[in-house]
Amino acid sequence: MVSMLAEVWLNPGHFIAWLAVGLIAGWIASNIMSAGYGLVGDLILGLVGAFIGGWLVGLFVTTSVGFVGSVVVAVIGAVVLIALARLLTNGRTTRGSTRAHGGVRL
């Protein structure tokens, strides 16, 4: 079972590829869900999303998905992660909300 999941999780394997997948996936997921977290936040969101997406897709897919597939899997996981965060925080993770914080963007 572990090898099946490992095949789906970010097959490119190289550290730079992981960062690229995380950044691209985090940025796409942030735009889909209207939740900007900045460069570092989007990168972390994409990397964590890759693991979540890898686990979810690993339940159904047993083959390697390549670089583009890894980005798609990571985006799915990042969207799930944002949705869970919103569910747990009553929707307080929104893009550019400055009114409630005296003009300071959080």
Rounded distance between C-alpha atoms, residue 55 and residue 51, angstroms: 6
- The Cα–Cα gap between 53 and 48 comes to 9
Higher pLDDT, 89 or 81: 81
Domain boundaries, the chain: 2-92
* Distance (Å, whole) CA 70 – CA 16: 14
Whole-number average pLDDT of the chain: 74
Alpha-carbon span 50 to 40, nearest angstrom: 15
pLDDT digits (tens, 9 = 90+) for 20-54: 888 888 889 989 988 778 888 888 888 888 888 88
At a CB cut-off of 8 Å and minimum separation 6, what does 83 contact? 33
Higher pLDDT, 4 or 47: 47
The pLDDT-based confidence of 55 (bands split at 50, 70, 90) is confident
Report which of 70, 81, 97 is spatially closest to residue 33, judged by C-alpha positions. Answer: 81
Terminal alpha carbon distance of the chain:
40
Question: Hey, what amino acid is at 89?
Answer: T
